């Protein structure tokens, strides 16, 4: 699976792509993460990308010309119909089912990160295929939302987690009927006077399964 990210701040992805499971997934070629700096399509000597909003008001908006150039460039890198997804608090909520759908339906997605007050509406109308929000709050940019989406989708891809079953039975998964996962315990069996439930130590698989089902929460 390939992710192309359009951002004004590619450096925001440095630690993301060099840390832990995502770094390994990239090294093992399960996923590709490519950042593209929107400023490369900026205008004039100063590579301008933003401007004041028509109608007045605070803050700056990303102008359509650099976004138009950047999006067309990235679309043309691979002959496919990768969707362009804009990160915005006004988008559809991104939930586990969204991650599942993306992991299944696409081999590539293009993630557009806004900044400041957002982007010129004409780009949203003409070149954006879907809009997603990661929660009901406003951040300074789409870089963290893009990382969240890449992370949640990637871990559903075969080979990304060491054990492919790890993403099978967990919170919000169909296997747990979309509920939240049961409590986990590891060694030691007793810690600060708190003990692991007997059933988990019993080795009785049917009972363990039953206990786990009963201890999932809505």
Considering only 25, 84, 123, 134, the residue that binds ligand SAH (CB under 6 A) is 134
Complex with ligand SAH: residue 25 or 61, whichever CB lies closer? 61
Q: Does residue 92 bind ligand SAH (CB under 6 A)?
A: no
Query: DSSP per residue over 133-194, as a string?
Result: ESSSS--SBSHHHHHHHHHHHHTTSTTTSSSGGGGTSSTT-GGGTT-BPPP---S-SEETTE
* Alpha-carbon gap, residue 22 to 166, rounded angstroms: 15
The least distance separating ligand SAH from the CB of residue 27, rounded to whole angstroms, comes to: 28
Q: Toward ligand SAH, which CB reaches closer, 64 or 211?
A: 64
Tell whether residue 31 is a contact of ligand SAH (CB under 6 A).
no
135 makes contact with ligand SAH (CB under 6 A): yes
Nearer to ligand SAH, 53 or 69 (CB): 53
**Prior bond to 85 cis, omega within 30?**
no
Measured distance CA(95)–CA(7) in Å, rounded: 23
Please provide the size of the chain in residues. 218
Q: How far is the CB of 157 from ligand SAH (least distance, A)?
A: 22
By beta-carbon distance, which residue lies closest to ligand SAH? 114
Q: Which is nearer to ligand SAH, 63 or 133 (CB)?
A: 133
By CB under 6 A, residue 89 contacts ligand SAH: yes
* 84-112 residues labelled b (16+ CB within 10 A) or e (exposed): bbbbbbebeebeeebbbebbeebebbbbb
For the chain, where are the E strands, in sequence order?
A: 2-7, 32-37, 50-51, 61-62, 84-93, 108-112, 130-133, 190-191, 194-195
97 vs 179: CA distance, rounded Å:
13
User: Per-residue x/- mask for ligand SAH, residues 114 to 133, rule CB under 6 A?
Assistant: xx-xx--------------x
Q: Compare residues 131 and 181 and give the one whose CB is closer to ligand SAH.
A: 131
Site residues for ligand SAH, 144-183, by CB under 6 A, read 145
Site string for ligand SAH, 42-61 (x = CB under 6 A): --------------------
| Cα–Cα distance measured from residue 25 to residue 2, given in angstroms and rounded to the nearest whole number | 11
Any contact of residue 10 with ligand SAH (CB under 6 A)?
Answer: no
User: Which residues sit at the interface with ligand SAH, rule CB under 6 A?
Assistant: 87-90, 113-115, 117-118, 133-135, 137-139, 141-142, 145
């Amino acid at each position: 699976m390939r992710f192309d990210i359009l951002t004004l701040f590619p450096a925001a992805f440095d630690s993301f792509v060099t840390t832990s499971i995502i770094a390994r997934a990239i090294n093992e070629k399960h996923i590709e993460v490519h950042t593209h700096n929107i400023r490369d399509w900026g205008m004039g000597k100063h590579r301008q990308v933003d401007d004041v909003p028509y109608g007045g008001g605070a803050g700056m908006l990303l102008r359509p010309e650099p976004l138009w150039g950047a999006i067309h460039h990235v679309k043309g890198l691979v002959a496919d119909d990768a969707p362009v997804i804009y990160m915005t608090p006004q988008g559809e909520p991104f939930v586990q089912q969204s991650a599942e759908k993306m992991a299944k339906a696409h081999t590539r997605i293009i993630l557009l990160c806004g900044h400041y007050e957002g982007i010129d509406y004409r780009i949203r109308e003409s070149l954006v295929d879907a809009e997603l929000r990661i929660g009901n709050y406003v951040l300074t940019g789409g870089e963290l939302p893009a990382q969240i989406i890449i992370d949640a989708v990637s871990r559903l891809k075969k080979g990304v987690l060491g054990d492919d079953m790890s993403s099978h039975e967990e919170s919000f998964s169909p296997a747990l009927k979309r509920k939240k996962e049961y409590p986990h315990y590891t060694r030691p069996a007793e810690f600060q006077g708190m003990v692991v439930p007997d059933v988990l130590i019993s080795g009785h698989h049917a009972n363990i399964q039953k206990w786990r089902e009963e201890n999932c929460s809505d």
